[in-house]
């Protein structure tokens, strides 16, 4: 039967018109669903409306280090011994600037940079492009990212196993392999999502180059929101070298 009319719904609520141009620029952050159901001249409506889902993300901060330094991006730099942290031209994605972090097995050597969010977040995704250029001794893994909550407690660590090259995630008191490896001198864009919550309700998702490699919806991440991220390692005498660029946090 020819279509007589359409009915549209946004996030379960009816829309005044399906045909008039509408702006959804004011939608809140998070997931949304738009549905369209057709009714024919006999009054028969679609049992299953056509739908489109999408997620509105808001950028908390973005830093591709093109300023040539850490200060403009609000980063705090911490090094000791033979550790170094520098923003270097030609090291970033696309040949731009990138942050190069190194440390050695020398006594008191460590390197990390930290960024504190303007507001703590219960649902936070941190995305960055990483390239590991040097690894330490067996059993000494490279910490690429650590997330902390407002209580100062570590929520999650993303690290590269220097023996196997596998990416591992440490949360809820355990370390789990993602099953995805990162070869030396290879750039990969990784996204880490944490949704804080009490035991059994937190969420963790790890995406590498657009592919979900690890996810759990029953993590124990605590009720305090994520508020600070750390790139590099505060542990002394752990050798590593990696470049990070295009760091972005979204909610």
Q: What is the pTM of this model?
A: 0.80
Averaged pLDDT, 159-179 = 95
Q: What is the pLDDT of residue 242?
A: 97
Q: What is the pLDDT of residue 189?
A: 98
Asked if the model's pLDDT at residue 248 lies above 70, the reply is: yes
- 69 burial type by CB count under 10 A (0-12 exposed, 13-18 middle, 19+ buried): middle
Token pair listed for 190: 């990784």
At 107-155, the pLDDT tens digits run 999 999 999 999 999 999 999 999 999 987 666 899 999 999 999 999 9
199 contact partners, CB below 8 Å, separation of at least 6: 220
Q: What is the share, in percent, of the chain residues with pLDDT greater than 90?
A: 67
What rounded mean pLDDT belongs to the chain?
89
Quickly state the pLDDT bin for 13 (edges 50, 70, 90): confident
């Amino acid at each position: 039967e020819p279509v007589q009319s359409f009915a549209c719904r946004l996030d379960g609520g009816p829309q005044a018109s399906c045909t008039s141009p509408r702006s959804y620029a004011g939608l809140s952050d998070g997931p949304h669903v738009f549905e369209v159901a057709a009714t024919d001249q006999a009054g028969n409506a679609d049992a299953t409306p056509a739908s489109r889902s999408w997620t509105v993300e808001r950028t908390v901060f973005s830093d591709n280090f093109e300023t040539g330094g850490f200060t403009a991006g609000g980063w705090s730099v911490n090094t000791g011994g033979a550790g170094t942290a520098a923003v270097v031209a030609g090291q970033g994605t696309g040949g731009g600037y990138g942050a190069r972090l190194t440390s050695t097995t020398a006594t008191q050597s460590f390197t990390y940079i930290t960024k504190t969010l303007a507001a703590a977040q219960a649902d936070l995704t941190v995305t960055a492009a990483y390239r590991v250029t040097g690894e330490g001794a067996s059993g000494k893994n490279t910490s690429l990212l650590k997330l902390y909550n407002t209580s100062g407690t570590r929520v999650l660590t993303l690290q590269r196993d220097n023996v196997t090259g596998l990416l591992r995630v440490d949360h809820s008191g355990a370390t789990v392999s993602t099953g995805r490896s990162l070869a030396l001198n290879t750039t990969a864009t990784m996204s880490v999502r944490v949704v804080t919550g009490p035991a059994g309700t937190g969420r963790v998702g790890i995406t590498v180059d657009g592919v979900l490699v690890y996810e759990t919806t029953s993590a124990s991440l605590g009720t305090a929101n994520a508020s600070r991220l750390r790139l590099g390692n505060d542990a002394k005498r752990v050798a590593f070298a990696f470049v990070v660029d295009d760091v972005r946090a979204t909610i």
